[in-house]
Chain A
Amino acid sequence: MANIFPRSANYLPLKIIFCLLVLGGAISAIYWYYLTPEYMRAGYQPIQPVPFSHNIHVTQLGMDCRYCHSYVEVSSHSNIPTTQTCMNCHTQVKANSPKLAAVKQSWESGNPVDWVKIHQVPDFAYFNHAVHVNRGISCASCHGDVNHMDVVYQKEPLSMGWCLNCHRHPENNLRPVSQVFNLDWKPGNGESQQQIGLELRDQWDINPPQTCAGCHR
């Protein structure tokens, strides 16, 4: 009786397995890369209703973060400035600039400005700004060099793994509390970030939670 299957069929299962492995690996790799926050979120730069430039306000004019984000040191939430905060200056300065139309309109109508949210953690994660900035974590650690951004974008992935990296090794981001709002701060005097961070970690008894309940409630 003739062979039903040709000799090459002996290798068919192996070939199928090999193809499946490659395919599976590729799918995993694609998923791994393209569906992580690192790909999906980092770099997110939506168009805002007001072309507000942090670069002009912070770097050129020298304003402090806390002029607008006034409650960052006391509240879990870093507040977006009210229209009134904008109008404190802009009734005098560039009062008629077309870029400020949305702000002016908001001030006159009483309707708020709908800023597009960029840095977004899931609803079941509870991030607290105040405890970070009071304990030596700068805005720049999570938000990047916002002071040089004309249009704000998301610098870091803000994924859970990324959060935990810092919670496990806070020394990589700790800096003197006086420098928290100085986004351009770099360790000086030949010291490395690691050295300073470890020193501060010991001094201040920094022990960030790594348990689920630290952020998920």
Chain B
Amino acid sequence: MGHKSAADLRGLPPLMKTVFRHPPEDLTGKRYWRSLEELADTPQFRSWLEREFPAGAAELDGVSRRNFLRLMGASMALAGIGLSGCRRPEAYLVPYTKSVEWLIPGKAVLYTTSMPGPSGGLPLIATTYEGRPTKLEGNPLAPSSNGGTDVFAQATVLDLYDPERSRTFVLNGKPATAQQFDRDLENIRKALEVSKGAGIGILTDEQTSPTRDRLLRSLKEQFPQINFYTDEPLGFEEHQAAVRSLFGPDVAVKPTFANADVIVSLDCDFLGSELTLQGVRDFSRRRRVNGSTDGMNRLYAVENRFTTTGGMADHRLRCAASRIPAFAIQLAKKVASSTTDRVLNAVVAQLNATGGEFDDAWLSECANDLVARKGRSLVLVGNRFPAWVHGLVFAMNNALGAFGSTLEVFGAPRVKAASLRELAADAKSGAIKTLFILGGNPVYTAPADLDWSEVQRSIPEVIRLGYYFDETSGKANWHVPEAHFLEFWGDQRAADGTYLPIQPMILPLFGGLSQIDILAKLVALPNGVQAIRETFKSFTKENDFEAAWTKFLRQGYAEKTSYEAAKVELNPNALPELLKTVGQLPGPVTPSAIEIVFPADYKVYDGRYANNAWLQELPDPITKLTWDNAVLLSKSTAKALQVEDGDLVEISVGDRKLQAAVMIAPGHADYSLSLSLGYGRWVVGKVGQGTGFNAYKLRTIDAPYYATRATVKLVQKNGHKLVQTQNHYSMEGRALVREGTVTDYNKNPAFAKAVWMDADIPPNVSLYSHPPLSAPNQWAMSVDLNTCIGCSACVVACQAENNIPVVGKEQVNNGREMHWMRIDRYFASADGDKNNPHLEDDPEMVMQPMMCQHCENAPCETVCPVNATVHNEEGLNVMVYNRCIGTRYCSNNCPFKVRRFNFFNYNDRPVLDRIEKGLPGFQGKSQLYLGPLAPWGMEEISKMQKNPNVTVRSRGVMEKCTYCVQRIETAKISQRIKAGVRGDLTLPTDSVKSACQQVCPTEAIVFGDMKDPQSRVVQLQRLPQNYHLLEYLNIQTRTTYLARLRNPNPKMPGAGRVGRINVDESGDQRHGLPHTDTKPTGGNA
């Protein structure tokens, strides 16, 4: 009798090492790629792919083995001398002397607060341990946010503990005391009484603090001649000017995305740098497909560079920013002709624009779609376009019946303040003798032609309240350290007007003052909590003030305080006046007339976060660039200019010049450059030192957003090292992102289940035993690719929650970034033809959050020699730091490359300090390379941010996403404590939220218990578009994804190529490619 294997007996194909042949990328279908190198398939890129970590990641740079041994020998000798015995050092328990109310050692106390911002406060909940705030999360109760936050709110807790924040008062360059400042302020106040405010100016940033407004108003009342100015480098001046002239003063116009079926964004990054939480959440709700695609909106984006908004678009058109006004006119003409709206027709008759470069079919069909959904459509334009463009767009929206439906007009009173430009004029005329600069950083951000630093110098007395001792402080008489918003009493109105408190979590660490403190002293009114209580009186109608106040603080907002709808309509008679400012429109961009655009930065915004290491290290959502900005341009433009990635160029606009590095960006408009603002600061801490290029140098009063007629000259080939996380951890040929259109979905809702390799899954047999998943809770996660905009708030939230260190530019370059979670950004070519010149220039973009997938058959576990990564019975792939010996086999075997290795002790060694002298070959490198000779220990102030429930990892240890196991355990323990000995141990449905889920402004990430049929994750994983990654490997991931759906307008040019990665034109989902060596016997195609 012949020998039969067990597999034969079971009727299965013979067990052998199954070799999966990934389908070679189909050159005629749509291709997904992540960088131009990948697309080009260069040898350098090949060598990248071949390695687990990029070349050099596992080696000490520039150090030979011999040098390394020499170094280690020396350190061993030192260690021997320092060996003082094996006894554990004595530790102390230090209780309080007086008991602290509400404080339970070891237990988190949560407070509501809010974060001030130019477009309104952000409602937050601060987690504090023993009085230290460690983490900020969105306030789920507050009506305008519903629990999400943006990336800045996540990162700002690091600012609070920044060792380099301003700690002392400075008077004319010398340290001074708070008492001295108090005396000076009192003198100013006395002088005010006499002068009635003449000669005094107050320059503030844009904020919506009713208390600040109240104090400013009473200043004006007491001292009528006082002057107020406001400056926000990325503000809404133009938008507000248009609103003021068309609707009257003290109103605001806000989009209501919940009602919008069709949205056209004219370079309005409403899902990115111009984001409001309410807007993004409403938008994503209309994007989510839960059984039916009926309510899904459609987004058209016209922009010069890829923004996160453009990535979400169903149809995207590349267009130079300086041509957006012309595009708006063309679009308005189309809309006008089909709506026959009298006002709009009158307006467009007044306007003329050449628009030969725009695709007429695109314009017509876009306009038709807008008109077809009249009353449900919306046109938006970027904040910093000239006021007349806003006027034109308002007229267009008016014709489309948007007002009252997709656009609402609110009453939003603001204190009248002049602009920075007017302040400069007043200062030059000598009208300003004393200037208070509260917040902002005008020396750095002011338009270059304003020459603000000279203006500031000409003012006899400048008092500057600043969080850092920065460019502006250096040129002020008084520098006053500003308190962080977690240190003072304040208030804000949210974007929708809801009244929010700012509660202090901690006393000012370095005795800083708030804007309210200084203003209150000037008007001799109470500051602190009294000031806020006073303001709150006008926001409550309750008879019992104390009860209302308590409730206000407890829930973090005051009910029914949103801005009231204003009963004003667009005043058509004001339009012609506004449109008189059109002037000469910039012509089309050409190789000899290049434009340069100054967008807000996704990480440092206008430069205010330049010293925040979390944000600096966060990969830009689009370019994946860290620790820098760069001049972005399209491939064709780069070819025309003969430049490549990392080349240093000189950009001249008029007589202003700037040197900056270039980077080729797919999807960028031709002959248009983008350089984000906020980098290249010259008075900044060591985090921001030497990062990026200062675009403000080119920005002038007349060109706040884009400058035309720029010339570019190559200065140095490869002049600047740009570090991206883009090429790291690439996955080739796997259908990781799955995408289809609404039509595909309606044809087969489960279209994403069986794609490419997963179309025919052979019977999978595992050699290893499946972990016994016996626990009552089985954790799982669902990520909705359809609503993820790629804002990266989750990445920073994960960093804050899990004590993830920053590693510095040099280490990121070696592929050693430590983020547990990343967002993969893929570009999808609309057309696979390699000869298509637009292949690289005009792709689609998709985002995919990627973190440990918690595979049930986890490949990492089977290769760990010390059982440092194991499964627990709740389905978690657990990483045990104290067992890990750092072989990195697990990372090698992880199909998702989500494991992170501590190559150095990033927490205790000075990552950002450089080696000045000594060791040859090491100069200029990070002091990490000094190994044990480097100073040891974390800054005391940095320790305060760490989450006490998560281990701070040391060198030589692997780490990765834990599904926030500390939150799971806390929830389980609380339930057990609550239940005592008799109660129910079942966790309430959806009571555990992972950090990334909590902050997600679009609710794209949902975490929960797979075994609880009521939980949201179960509902989502049951949806037909749910799919597992790499299912054919039989790894059985716990994290699943919901396929991306696009909603193209079938009549649009190129509509047939939108969102068709996994389904070819015929609708056939299977790419009939060979799968395995064994004969497939089953499958679910």
Across-interface contacts of B976 in A (CB, < 8 A): 131, 134-135
Assembly CA distance A126 to B968 (angstroms): 13
Q: Once the chains bind, are A135 and B91 in contact (CB under 8 Å)?
A: no
Q: Once the chains bind, are B872 and A77 in contact (CB under 8 Å)?
A: no
Q: Is A13 an interface residue (CB 8 A)?
A: no
Q: A94-111 vs B: 1/0 string, CB under 8 Å?
A: 000000000000110011
Dominant secondary structure at the B interface: loop
Across-interface contacts of B872 in A (CB, < 8 A): 211-213
Q: A193-217 vs B: 1/0 string, CB under 8 Å?
A: 0000000100111000001111011
Q: Once the chains bind, are A117 and B91 in contact (CB under 8 Å)?
A: yes
Across-interface contacts of A134 in B (CB, < 8 A): 976-977, 980-981
In the complex, how many angstroms separate the beta carbon of A182 from the nearest chain B beta carbon? 16
Across-interface contacts of B985 in A (CB, < 8 A): 205
Which of A2-10, A59-67, A80-88, A141-149 sits within the interface? A80-88
Assembly CA distance A214 to B881 (angstroms): 13
Chain A residue nearest to B952 in the complex (CB): A123
Q: Is A36 an interface residue (CB 8 A)?
A: no
- A82-B95, A117-B92 given as contacts; is B980 within 8 A of A216 (CB)? no
Across-interface contacts of A107 in B (CB, < 8 A): 97
Q: Once the chains bind, are B973 and A124 in contact (CB under 8 Å)?
A: no
Q: Is A130 an interface residue (CB 8 A)?
A: yes
Across-interface contacts of A77 in B (CB, < 8 A): 105-107
Q: Is B982 an interface residue (CB 8 A)?
A: yes
Q: Once the chains bind, are B105 and A213 in contact (CB under 8 Å)?
A: no
B92: which of A81, A115, A214 is its contact (CB, 8 Å)? Answer: A115
- A46-B90, A134-B976 given as contacts; is B106 within 8 A of A112 (CB)? no
Chain A: residues with Cβ within 8 Å of the partner, total of 49
Q: Once the chains bind, are B105 and A122 in contact (CB under 8 Å)?
A: no
Chain B: residues with Cβ within 8 Å of the partner, total of 42
Q: Once the chains bind, are B950 and A217 in contact (CB under 8 Å)?
A: yes
Q: Is A181 an interface residue (CB 8 A)?
A: no
Q: How many A-B residue pairs have CB under 8 A?
A: 134
Q: Is A113 an interface residue (CB 8 A)?
A: yes
B969: which of A71, A74, A123, A214 is its contact (CB, 8 Å)? Answer: A214
- A120-B91, A135-B981, A204-B981 given as contacts; is B97 within 8 A of A213 (CB)? no
Q: Once the chains bind, are B105 and A75 in contact (CB under 8 Å)?
A: yes
Chain A residue nearest to B968 in the complex (CB): A213
Chain A residue nearest to B94 in the complex (CB): A112
Q: Once the chains bind, are A84 and B97 in contact (CB under 8 Å)?
A: yes
Across-interface contacts of A123 in B (CB, < 8 A): 951-952
Assembly CA distance A77 to B96 (angstroms): 14
Q: Is B592 an interface residue (CB 8 A)?
A: no
Q: Is A76 an interface residue (CB 8 A)?
A: yes
Across-interface contacts of A74 in B (CB, < 8 A): 104, 107, 977
Q: Is B600 an interface residue (CB 8 A)?
A: no
CB contacts under 8 Å to A, within B948-979, are 949-952, 962, 965-966, 968-969, 973, 976-977
Assembly CA distance A40 to B87 (angstroms): 8
Across-interface contacts of B977 in A (CB, < 8 A): 73-74, 130-131, 134
B981: which of A40, A46, A203, A212 is its contact (CB, 8 Å)? Answer: A203
Assembly CA distance A216 to B881 (angstroms): 8
Across-interface contacts of B982 in A (CB, < 8 A): 204
Q: Is B579 an interface residue (CB 8 A)?
A: no
In the complex, how many angstroms separate the beta carbon of B129 from the nearest chain A beta carbon? 10
Chain B residue nearest to A129 in the complex (CB): B106
Chain B residue nearest to A124 in the complex (CB): B951
Q: Once the chains bind, are B96 and A112 in contact (CB under 8 Å)?
A: yes
Across-interface contacts of A203 in B (CB, < 8 A): 981
Q: Once the chains bind, are A217 and B106 in contact (CB under 8 Å)?
A: no
In the complex, how many angstroms separate the beta carbon of B951 from the nearest chain A beta carbon? 4
Q: Is A170 an interface residue (CB 8 A)?
A: no
Q: Is A116 an interface residue (CB 8 A)?
A: yes
6 residue pairs from A and B, CB less than 8 Å apart: A71-B104, A71-B107, A79-B95, A83-B98, A114-B92, A117-B93
| Residues of A near any B CB (own CB < 8 A) | 35, 40-41, 46, 71, 73-77, 79-85, 106-107, 110-117, 120, 122-124, 126, 128, 130-131, 134-136, 177, 200, 203-205, 211-214, 216-217
| Residues of B near any A CB (own CB < 8 A) | 86, 88, 90-99, 104-107, 870, 872-874, 876, 878, 880-883, 949-952, 962, 965-966, 968-969, 973, 976-977, 980-982, 985
Given contacts A116-B92, A211-B878, A213-B969, 13 further A-B contacts (CB under 8 A): A74-B104, A75-B106, A112-B95, A112-B96, A113-B94, A116-B91, A124-B951, A126-B949, A130-B973, A136-B981, A204-B982, A211-B872, A213-B872
